[in-house]
Chain A
Amino acid sequence: MLDWTDYLFYLVFLSQVFVLSYYFPNKLLDRMRYVLETYPPSMYPKLYPKPLEYYKMGQWGFKWVTRCILVLGFVILYAVIFLVDHATFADDGYISEFWPALYGVIQFAPLMVLEFSEFSQFKLMRKANTATTRTAPLRRRRLSDFVSPMLVAIAVLLYIMFILFDLYVHDFVFDWGHDTLQRVAVITVTNLLVGGVGAWQLYGRKQNPHQGLDDRNKQIAAALTSILYVSMAMSIFFMTQVADDVIDMNFLDATLISLYFQVVAFLSLGTNLRSLKLENIDFDVYKNGTAAT
């Protein structure tokens, strides 16, 4: 029998389908289209280390992969509503979190591919860069130049709160094979990984050889802010998982994980799109005769 939690999941999952496979892909496609039309290879040759057809093909591929994933989302929703027997599929009889989690991973895949293709694009740009001069600010980059120390403090505090909350709920049992240790290990390793990405953004090699100092600073600020937001969201999500052990919330597991994927998308991709508006980026550096920085 369907109850309100099932309807809530359908609604949240529908939102996941729309947000990750329609809303954000469309935003990205609009940006790609805008760049190709406003900054053509004839005037901005340094922006295109490969022929124009390659970028149009990539754009076409991204569009159709995300459209197929959108359709897959509706298929999964149909299966969850009409075909899957939840009583046998999951031990507790509720809608399994497997569905939104699996679909979320599939939805993020083309976005990740797009991110990685950016690295190979920058690599080609560096290879094609014949400028003999390089510039660098005579100023030390510090975390506090790009993100508010309060935001960093909140992220650290939430991480510590999650660990203490988990230990408190499980009577400070912290041994091998116990859920607490696994959760703490997962969140710590993930935080270390995203922290490493942040440090790389801050101190690492400049990927885009033509990017100006202002644009680079904006990009670092956007990346660090989204990393901190994601870390905070992760701590809160894990706290809900711990709370699950005390107040029986199994019926909400699938809804929460679907919500989590959407929150992560808004905090990472959304923050980047909001902070790095195309009209504020200096594209003149991609014109011929402009010295690389």
Chain B
Amino acid sequence: MEIITDIDDPQPLFAQLIAQIKQAVLAGQVSPGDPLPSIRQLANDLELNSKTVAKAYRLLERDSIVQTRGYRGTFVHPDALANSTVDLTAWVVGKLSETIAAFRESGVTDSEIRIAFGNVMNDRRSGA
């Protein structure tokens, strides 16, 4: 199984890595418990910044697709197959679409929604 990255692809490099590792899990090309290349190895092989690979691994770890076992490295998570089918991005888009639709129904304008969204994301209003 080989990972292919394309710098001309509009999808960010870390997202290309995440998508292909998920595909590898779903296709059975890597199994739970299999060791994955180290961040440095993958970054060197793909001529990427190691922070890009680290970001991809961090997000995959958050989604329980990979697990890091200290100095022993990164491995495919035991529940990776089930978790690879979960698409958090699609879930976020769905939730936001529902919320925005509700705002629009209440008469809130798009620019007001954008400003409010920006404020919440920038932590100015919500205090979160």
A residues neighboring B (CB under 8 Å): 132-141, 203-206, 213
Q: Which residue of A lies closest to B42 (CB)?
A: A136
Q: Which of A132, A134, A139, A206 contacts B1 (CB 8 A)?
A: A139
Kindly list the 4 A-B residue pairs having the minimum CB-CB distance in the complex, ordered from nearest: A136-B45, A140-B35, A205-B44, A132-B8
What's the nearest-Cβ distance from chain B to residue A82, in Å? 55
Cross-chain contact B35 with A134 (CB below 8 angstroms): no
| Interchain CA distance A134-B17 in the complex, whole Å | 12
| Interface majority SS (helix, strand, loop, mixed), chain B | mixed
Measured CB to CB, the nearest residue on chain A to B73 is A140
Bound complex: CA of A136 vs CA of B4, how far in Å?
7
Tell me if B68 is interfacial: C-beta within 8 Å of chain A: no
A-B interface pairs (CB < 8 A), number: 64
Interchain nearest-CB distance for A71 vs B (Å): 44
A135-B4 contact given A140-B35, A140-B73, CB 8 Å threshold: yes
Say yes or no: A134 contacts B73, CB within 8 Å: no
A205 touches B2 (CB 8 A): no
Instruction: Please state if A203 and B38 are interface contacts (CB–CB under 8 Å).
Output: yes
A205 touching B47, Cβ below 8 Å: yes
Quick check: A138 and B35 within 8 Å, CB to CB?
no
Contact residues in B for A203 (Cβ distance below 8 Å): 38, 40-41, 44
Do residues B36 and A138 form an inter-chain contact, with CB atoms below 8 A?
A: yes
B contact residues around A137 at 8 Å (CB):
1-3, 37, 45
